[in-house]
Amino acid sequence: MHFYLISPQYRAEEMDCDRFGPVPILCDFTQNQTTSSGQQYFTTPTVSESDPTPLNMPAGFELGFPDAVANMGTHAYDMAAVPNSPAEWTEPSLIYGTHGEVVFFEPMIPFQFVEGDVSQDFSQDIEYVKQTIDTLPYNLAVKYNARSGKTTVTFQGKSNKCFKEFQKARKAYKKGNK
């Protein structure tokens, strides 16, 4: 499940690219994109020109080419943590998506973590390289209850929506108390 930091309208209207013919949902990674929107799939802010580490992602994360999906973003992940086979993937992990900057985060959960007779818990604190987006989560928790068969995924972090609602309510309160 993708958790977007941008609106559906922005995704639909601003996140287009030149498509890759054999797989038309992918942005064409075999040649230069002809629009600025398409070019943003293949660029993301980094620490510096000499340090290509992406900002607003955990250390070790890299953009995965050709994982640039139109109207979605370019997927980034910790390449060193990718298992050699699906059988070796045992714990949840995170994926980030970019379009000029981080536009989504996504938990990836192996099926074997959420099935069977044994309940499982996973929790991971998330630290970012040079974080400039303060609404990114700082913790991911995944719980599987074998008895009920239910899985709970929880992110902790600041919500921009709640802050906007608070500001609106505070403004209305101040206006009413003048």
DSSP state letters, the chain? --EESS-HHHHHHH----EETTEEEEE--SS--SSHHHHHTT---BS-SS--PBTTS-TTEEEEEEEEETTTEEEEEEGGG--SSGGG--S-EEEEEESSSEEEEEEE--GGGGSSSS-EEEEEE---SS---TTSEEEEEEEEETTTTEEEEEEEE--HHHHHHHHHHHHHHHHHT-
The pLDDT, as a whole number, for residue 135 is 92
- The predicted model scores a pTM of 0.85
**Residue 42: CB atoms within 10 Å:** 18
Q: Report the side by side order of strands in the sheet with 150-157.
A: 120-125, 137-145, 150-157
The rounded distance, in Å, linking the Cα atoms of 126 and 137 is: 7
Asked if pLDDT for residue 159 goes beyond 80, the answer is no
> What's the whole-number mean pLDDT along residues 117-144?
96
> What's the whole-number mean pLDDT along residues 151-170?
78
pLDDT confidence of 167, banded at 50, 70, 90? low
The pLDDT, as a whole number, for residue 96 is 96
